[in-house]
Amino acid sequence: MSTMEIALVTLGVMLILGMPIFMSLVIASSAALLFGDSMLPLSVIHNSLFEGINIFTLLAIPCFVVAGALMEYGNITHQIIGVAKMLVGRMYGGLGITTILACTFFAAISGSGPGTVAAVGTIMVPAMVRSGYSKDYAAAAASSGGTIGIMIPPSNPMIIYAILGNLSVTAMFTAGFLPGALVAVSMMSTAYLIARRKGFKGDEDTPAFNLKLFCRTCGKSFFALMTPVIILGSIYSGYATPVEASVVAIMYSLFVGFVVNRSLRPRHIYLALLEGVMTCGSVLIIVGASTLFGKILTYEQAPQKLTQLIFDFTNNPTVVLLLIIVVLYILGMFMETLSTLIILVPVLLPVIVQLGIDPIHFGIILVLTNETALLTPPLGVNIFVSSRIAGISVERNAVAVLPYVGTLTLCVLCITMFPAIATWLPRVLGYGL
């Protein structure tokens, strides 16, 4: 067997056995170097592991996670939900739509899908159940709303993709706005239609929309509503890089939590830092291992061989994208989002570039497809989180989210067929390739 065959077969066996992703990558790489015909020295193992984690841009991930946790503890989430509730609370499925709208706002803070579900769902799911909504509807709305967390910037998967593809993080963030808005509107429409069919009316305790009262509520929640403006504004105005903006997010969340809302306590800082460390640790160790695995595949010319294999079948960019989407849907049921990106991007991106597909467009499709994977068991992280909050089985929740999975699939196909949805804004702002 060749070096590449040994690496791929060993990786497949390790994953089937349930070995953690980073260990599977390291074992597969080591086996390929030891038993294959590669001329790479064994020193490539520790060199690649270090190179993989010695990336400055990765610092943005733990900082955004810490900022999101601090804002949750600092009562910012409650204030965002309050404003969203005033806008749509009295509609059919008003609380479900409020949940998705609040997730859209919170996504511009945390960058994490499961984190968004936990932050907003903990408040909104019990509120929906108390108002007569079924637990299935409440859990599904929270699960689907949380998927927006990895599309609307700042987004942890977008940061990873930009690093792996040697692209601008700011360009990827910019490209996520219109697709994120499309997904959010589509999700809210789905929640409304389901509620209308099942007779889930709006929250009667929410007063009818009154512009004066709404402006007063926005004034009280001014600092909370300014959070995404300050974070994203600092990036797009050129005053801060994404990493610097993530630190700004932490400082701002501390200010609002301690000085404005007076809800933060010292123990909350410890819990937020712990969450950031846990998230960063799991990401870094996988990135380091994937750098090693990717170096072996590159040395063995795996991207070129895959390109030739695809070209022997078809050279139609749309058909290739649709085939990749099918593969990603299947992998998403079994692999975590960052793991999927880290393993596939080094192999697929050269193929995409050779086909003339914009890497930014492909990145959005990749992230959006993985967004759908958050709702598909057995690894659908969002449905596990919302099921625990709602107190229902994962099986019930998996059935309840099927309409939202269908909606996301339509969004994926729409963005695939109309690349301008993803690429227009970066090009207008000068970030396009």
The whole-angstrom separation of Cα 231 and Cα 374 is 25
**Residue carrying the six token digits 């139609």:** 316
The whole-angstrom separation of Cα 210 and Cα 366 is 41
The whole-angstrom separation of Cα 100 and Cα 107 is 10
The whole-angstrom separation of Cα 121 and Cα 139 is 8
The whole-angstrom separation of Cα 77 and Cα 26 is 40
Question: Residues 320-343: pLDDT tens digits?
Answer: 888 888 888 877 776 667 777 877
The whole-angstrom separation of Cα 143 and Cα 387 is 9
Confidence of residue 365 (pLDDT cuts 50, 70, 90): very high
Please report the pLDDT score of residue 117 as a whole number: 76
Confidence of residue 108 (pLDDT cuts 50, 70, 90): low
Share of the chain above pLDDT 90, in %: 10
Tokens of 28: 């597969």
Where exactly are the structural domains of the chain? 55-428
**Residue carrying the six token digits 């830092």:** 273
Please report the pLDDT score of residue 190 as a whole number: 92
Question: pLDDT averaged over the chain?
Answer: 81
Please report the pLDDT score of residue 209 as a whole number: 66
- Amino acid (one-letter) located at 426: P
For 121, list phi and psi in degrees, rounded to 5. Answer: -65, -35
Higher pLDDT, 40 or 34: 34
Question: Residues 73-101: pLDDT tens digits?
Answer: 888 777 877 777 777 666 777 888 888 88
Please report the pLDDT score of residue 413 as a whole number: 93
pLDDT at residue 60 tops 90: no
Determine the average pLDDT of the residues in 368-378: 77
